[in-house]
Structure 1
């Protein structure tokens, strides 16, 4: 990532009333003198980008697009982002059930796509980037996003089925290590009914959602962590250990899943971490 300089990243904590809907806030400002590409692998969250200026170029399952402010729905394929110059904005990571409730629309409409914020038919969201850019600092910006999302929550007309919420949290807690038939039995629903309701409210059916969550766990385990050997010492778990811990049949199965969902091998993914 030569030529790139991260000049500012500020984490923000959502209001407690949004704890089931919003995972985190992050304010950012960065600059790259050369084109900077990043591979965004699928995760169990939906990302709302509220950009204050230059656009981001994206290449993913829905094709190529450019946007400053957009919502990335649930994905089961990687998206490559690219920019040159500056980036400045606020990122909101939402749970898929949070998006379903806050936006009040069927989640498959957002699967593997990144609609512009002003295409969501929510005027308050469409004007939010400009208002945030005018705020004096990150605390005021986080508070403004809190206020908008809490108003959306108060006015929400749709809520996830308790069974879908339970099934989703079960998958998240286990890193995707629960089979669809077991989920159906534990909810008391038929397999077909669970698939239909889950997909309409999460955006992916239970099986692909489990694959994404398993990949997310594996990707997190692959990223080097600091060892007890002292500052700057990185430890990478062997791929076979990661595969076994995440429930893959073997090393080869892990590699196939990375190719299918992330568009690269685990080794290529790791190369991006230096």
Structure 2
């Protein structure tokens, strides 16, 4: 068991810009990542559980890919609702591509891990594979990043100091991203436009903005982002609505109008399809990094 200091914090967590916050029964450990990673990494954080406690969460689409490096007990279940085949039992360190539906994760307790959220085009550079191959999939970390990723995970687990862990991680991410494939400028621009619009931009207008035919945009965008432009727009619109619902005093009709839904019924249908929940349930749920506690 990892030694802790007098306030039950993981040792080394207060060094070199590392910050800790208590989230339920876990510590969330963070540090600003280097400038060269900022266009590609949305967030990264370490997690350490002071007292082992099992939990289940539902992950909802965020428009980002995830890398989870397990340093302790792994998840016992990572699956889509209703999914029963062995692919639903991928555990250990893993990669999650962009998703257009919810996923349930169960952990037995005693978690120690590093979770990295990547922008779609950052994931494209890091993974160096068509993102469409990872859409709605959970894959072992080494199956995507190769055996060196397993070596990195072992080094991170053997290092008790969180600042030193982040140093190792920053070096590994920077080295791999810099030699990864460069996204097409048109795809980069299309994603930027779609994200800034919160998904409220028709595919035809996107194609006109980047100077491609609609069919060519769909093919290249799907290859490098992982979702089609239309599905990406749905996910981004949902994500924006979920963020608005987390604020106090908002009403569903106002959220529907602000996010470009036809009406409240359309909002309800999209929340059910993408997150297996309702806007009202989402507004009252405890949501953290795209996860709803179950």
Which one of the candidate residues 54, 60, 69 is aligned to 2:80?
60
User: Shift of the alpha carbon at 1:267?
Assistant: 2.1
CA contact (8 A) 2:73 2:108 kept: no
For the residue of structure 1 that corresponds to 2:95, the secondary structure is: strand
More strand by share: 1
Q: Does the 8 A contact of 2:67 with 2:115 survive in 1?
A: yes
Distance 1:33 1:150 in 2: 33
- Separation in 2, partners of 1:154, 1:207: 29
- What residue number does 1:127 align with? 151
Report the aligned-residue RMSD: 1.9
Deviations 1:172-213 (A, max 9, x none): 111111110000001110000000000000000100001001
Structure 2 unmatched runs, 5+: 1-22, 288-294
Residue of structure 2 in register with 1:94 after alignment: 118
Aligned equivalents of 2:43, 2:54: Cα separation in 1: 27
Q: Matches of 1:110 and 1:31 in 2, distance apart?
A: 33
Q: How many residues align?
A: 260
Tell me the equivalent position of 1:192: 215
Q: TM-score, normalised by structure 2?
A: 0.83
SS at match of 1:115: strand
- 2:134 is aligned to 110
Q: Deviations over 1:13-39 (max 9, x none)?
A: 221111111111111113676642211
Aligned partner (choices 40, 44, 49) of residue 63 of structure 2: 44
**Which has the higher mean CA deviation after the structures are superposed, 68-77 or 215-224?**
215-224
* CA distance 1:255–1:31, change in 2 (3 Å): farther
- How far apart, CA to CA, are the structure 1 residues paired with 2:66 and 2:108? 21
Q: Partner residue of 1:203?
A: 226
- 1:227 is matched with none
Scaled by the length of structure 1, what TM-score is found? 0.89
- 5 Å-filtered alignment, 1:146-185, equals 146-156=170-180, 158-185=181-208
Q: Give the conservation status (yes or no) of the 8 Å contact 2:40–2:121.
A: yes
Q: Indicate the residue corresponding to 1:14 in structure 2.
A: 33
Offset of 1:74 from its aligned partner?
A: 0.4
Superposed, 1:211-250 pairs within 5 Å as: 211-224=234-247, 235-250=248-263
In 2: Cα distance, 1:198 partner to 1:71 partner: 20
